[in-house]
Amino acid sequence: MKARKTLIALCVISSFAAGGTTIAGAEPNPGASPRTEQTSSTGTTNRTPDSQASNDPVIATYKGRKINLSLTWGHATVCSEYPDLSVKCFDNDSQARADLAAYKKHHPSAFPAVPKHPAGIRPKAAGIGNHAGAKSQTATAPDSCAYGWVCIYQHDTWNENNDGRKLQWSAEGKKTLGKYGFRDETSSTCNNNEIGGMDLIDYRNNLPDPRVPTQLRTCIEDLEDVDYPGWGTGSWGDRADAVEF
């Protein structure tokens, strides 16, 4: 979710704002806000997977207590899903890296071995459909996303000002972001997995679910610079409902 917003899709016939739900005493996800949904004569946004999030939420450990990520992150800014599918959240990235190092020490075979001379994150491959003048897609793996992980960020440029949230996984699969309290909030990505691609998905009714890839060893610095499919539909900024890798 970007600090700046761009007015888009003036030709859309109608739009609807999706609201959020919180439990008493819980702090809602910081910075979360509903986006305007776009509809067409043949399809509307599919929210069924998100409506199921409250029935099957991701429960994380944060400061020794359990939290329902679909409702709140508390004051956490980084949440990590480990190979055993356990999820831990932290106040900052330094704490998350320290916990990852401790996890690796006790589970040395759980993660792929880091190459002696890792290639690091390369500029994003061409062909995704950037707007003219899009920012260069560069990052360094140690600072942005650990080897063997895929990462999404609330703000562009990978939360460079440390003012956004980060969600990362090491276990492959399709992750419905509503369960993690991260629906429609992804503004930048990194794919530093050992093998394979990474797709952001926007759920739709009666239409194929649009996808945008983050290729292996690449990052997307700003999803506002990546066109959403269709004429007058804007960008991929703050539109992802799921991640698959």
Using pLDDT thresholds of 50, 70 and 90, give the confidence band for residue 125: very low
pLDDT in tens, 163-217: 899 999 998 999 999 999 999 999 999 999 988 999 999 998 888 999 999 999 8
Domain ranges across the chain: 25-126+135-244
Return the higher-pLDDT residue of 103 and 18: 103
**pTM of the complete model:** 0.75
Q: What confidence category does residue 17 fall into, taking pLDDT thresholds of 50, 70 and 90?
A: very low
Which pLDDT value is given to residue 160?
Answer: 83
- What pLDDT is recorded for position 162? 77
CATH 3.40.1080.10 fits 25-126+135-244, yes or no: no
Helical spans, DSSP H, in the chain: 48-51, 93-106, 141-144, 156-159
215 and 124 Cβ atoms separated by less than 8 Å: yes
Percent of the chain with pLDDT over 70: 66
